[in-house]
Amino acid sequence: MSLAMFRVMVLDLWRDRPALVMTFLLPSVVFLIFSSVFSGATGLDVKLKIAVADLARTPASERLAKAFLADPNLRAERVRPQTLAAVREAVRSGRADAGFVIRSDPGAPGTPLVILADPSRAVAAPLTEARAREVLQQATPDVLLARTVRDLHPAIGDLTADQRDNVAIAVEQLAQNPKLQPAIAPLFEHDEVAEAKRGGAAIAYYAGAVTILFSMFAATHGALTLIDERRSGIADRILAGRAGMGPVVTGKFLFLIAQGAAQAAVIFATAQIVYQVPTLQHLGLWSVTTAATAAAAGGLALGLVALCRTREQAQMLSTFVILILAAIGGSMVPRFLMPPWLQDLGWWTPHAWVIDAYQGLLWRDEGAAALYKAWIVLAAIGLGGFTAAQVAARRIRS
């Protein structure tokens, strides 16, 4: 009997080709995608986008700027115009992960280098400084030695003529042979691009990330009733009527939008109460963003479920799609920590648009002019899934 049941289960799986593919092929695909996402998050493959400005315009600062821009471990670009305000705006708007400003000659007294970062990308600042220190050692070792000698003057006093000659020779040798690396004096000042409660940017980020992730799960659970109605025979009776399945799918879509909006309201109310995320202060634009988010989740879930023949297929496929979109879109790991090709791929997911829209609204105080693209993309995803569900529902046959 046991062997007979084993044989029945094998045959059932073999005959259900979609389930066979999702059982044995999709796990390997999930592994490859997750390994790419999380290996990038270790920092080995991180290539930060850096906005660079050279305010000093000296030979040493230009040498440093060119070396920094040429660093293959970064995606560094000069801002136009080259001002501190332009760098700050690039970081604040999310166009750059961090800013690198040379505000005075690297060899001059004081703190010549400024690193600007958004608190929501806190790790970007130390990573940028680490890369800048390495570039400094490679490109301007002579400047570093001169700074070290000058900084040591209060402790060791004036140098003799011979000592000064030796320092000058060492500086010249370092300029010609950068492999000789001196000790590094403090050079960096860190600055944040926004005034807000510490951690607020990260809270806004993960509020959006959690909202779209659980909206997808909840919408899938609601969309599965399409298959339940098909299996119970309710769909046959509806199809026998004049209206068909169209109004049923529309009603489910509207319910999923309302459910997603209510779910988001609970999440952001918690964020407002516990972490002072300014949801009520942006209630109008938040409502539009939330409606677009719920529409994208509901439409996508309906479209996926309507294309499956069995509940098992729908559950496995929807779980696969939700996990992959969440990983690539930034719900699990911040996208700026991923390899560049994965960051670009993330814009094909609703998650990236949702997270960016909520963070732009609640952290960067962006208005409709900056958010409308996300609204359009999310609405298009929702309408596309809804349309696919309508077409599939009309073809239902028991």
The residues, ordered by sequence, that sit 6+ positions from 322 with a Cβ below 8 Å of its Cβ are: 213, 216, 217, 220
Confirm whether 2 is domain-assigned: no
Mean pLDDT, each 10-residue run in order, the chain (398 residues): 62 66 63 60 67 87 86 85 86 82 81 82 78 79 68 56 65 63 63 61 84 90 77 53 66 89 91 86 93 94 84 81 87 79 88 91 86 94 90 64
Pairing of strands 113-117, 98-102: antiparallel
**What is the rounded CA–CA span in Å between residue 328 and residue 36?**
9
Which of 192, 223, 238 lies at the terminal end of a domain, its last residue?
192
**What's at 123, amino acid-wise?**
V
Q: Are residues 365 and 216 in the same domain?
A: yes
Residue 205 and residue 350 in one domain: yes
**Domain's final residue, options 192, 225, 252:** 192
**260 and 329: one domain?**
yes
Q: How far is CA 60 from CA 35, 64, 161, 307, 329, in A?
A: 41, 6, 25, 62, 41
Query: How far apart are alpha carbons 30 and 37 in whole angstroms?
Result: 11
Whether residue 350 sits in one domain with residue 308: yes
Predicted confidence at residue 70, as pLDDT, reads 86
Quick one: 170 and 264 in the same domain? no
Complete DSSP assignment for 185-207:
---EEEEESS-S-TTHHHHHHHH
Tell me, yes or no, whether 27 and 65 share the same domain: no
Last residue of a domain, one of 141, 166, 192: 192
Does 275 reside within a domain?
yes
pLDDT score at 196: 46
Q: Are 238 and 139 members of one domain?
A: no
Number of neighbouring beta carbons within 10 Å of residue 174: 20
- Give the global pTM: 0.70
Q: Does some domain include residue 84?
A: yes
On whether residue 312 sits in a domain, the answer given is yes
Q: Which residues contact 125 (CB under 8 A, 6 or more apart)?
A: 98, 115, 117, 190
Q: Which residues contact 198 (CB under 8 A, 6 or more apart)?
A: 119
Q: Are residues 150 and 226 in the same domain?
A: no
Answer yes or no: do 234 and 291 share one domain.
Answer: yes
Do 187 and 202 lie in a common domain?
A: no
| Any domain includes 6 | no
Domain, as residue range, for 371: 16-40+198-394
Q: CB of 327 within 8 A of CB of 34?
A: yes
CATH number where 125 lies: 3.40.1710
**Structural domains in the chain (count):** 2
Q: Report residue 214 as tokens.
A: 């659980």
The reply to whether 150 and 211 lie within a common domain is: no
Within a domain: 4: no
Q: Is residue 7 part of a domain?
A: no
Instruction: Indicate whether 86 and 32 sit together in one domain.
Output: no
pLDDT at position 155 is 44
Residue 250 lies in a domain: yes
Cα–Cα distance, 295 to 219 (Å, whole number): 10
